[in-house]
Amino acid sequence: MSKLLLATTNPGKSTEYRYLLEGLPFDIVTLIDENIDYDVDEEGKSFEDNARRKATEYAGISGLITLADDSGLEVDALGGEPGVYSARYAGENASDTERIEYLLTKLREVPWEKRTARFKCVIAVALPEGQIEICTGECNGIIAFEAKGERGFGYDPLFYIPELDNTMAGLPSVIKNKISHRAVASQKAYRILEKFAEKTIS
């Protein structure tokens, strides 16, 4: 069985993708599994820039079909911040808790009706030969006044979804993995990977 490389070292993200891509005829591995100790520069101006760069470079290094993503939170009241800087919004080595506290501080004076936001995800699937496919996903919500929920990671405890009356971190995994930005993008990537698998097998 051919390998599919997930270009991440984030255990939460790896777990989600293994679930979302279940059923594909690939042995799904991560950078850690493949002993790839190399950091791709993620200084792109958009999620797509960073996803493309990671997928292309890691596919070249590993010789494997590679899935990479870049995702983040865009808050309307902050002009789209943190955007591509979501992971390092509160500092390069900040924890999830510190990022959440920093965001809440920035939004301290913003009323509920103006706390609209969206999670965005761009997935890039790259072949070692250079072919690349791009998939996108989005989920809309509101930034809550306090963190709630024990599941998920990142800004999930703050991301309230009115239709479900819950934060992303409060949702059962089976629901989150149907409606999240990563789930929507993964559904598109799944179909692309099925086609790549057919070519590999044939």
| Contact predicate 178/194, CB 8 Å | no
Place of tokens 């993008």: 185
| Contact predicate 125/133, CB 8 Å | yes
Rg of the chain (C-alpha set): 17
| Contact predicate 1/26, CB 8 Å | yes
- Beta bridge mates, 30: 6
| Residue 70: active-site member | yes
Helix, strand or coil for residue 68?
Answer: strand
Tokens of 142: 């509101």
Choosing from 70, 76, 156, 165, the catalytic residue is 70
Dist. CA 141–CA 123, nearest whole Å: 21
- Beta bridge mates, 139: 119
| Contact predicate 90/82, CB 8 Å | no
Count how many residues are written for the chain: 202
Give the residue numbers marked as catalytic: 70
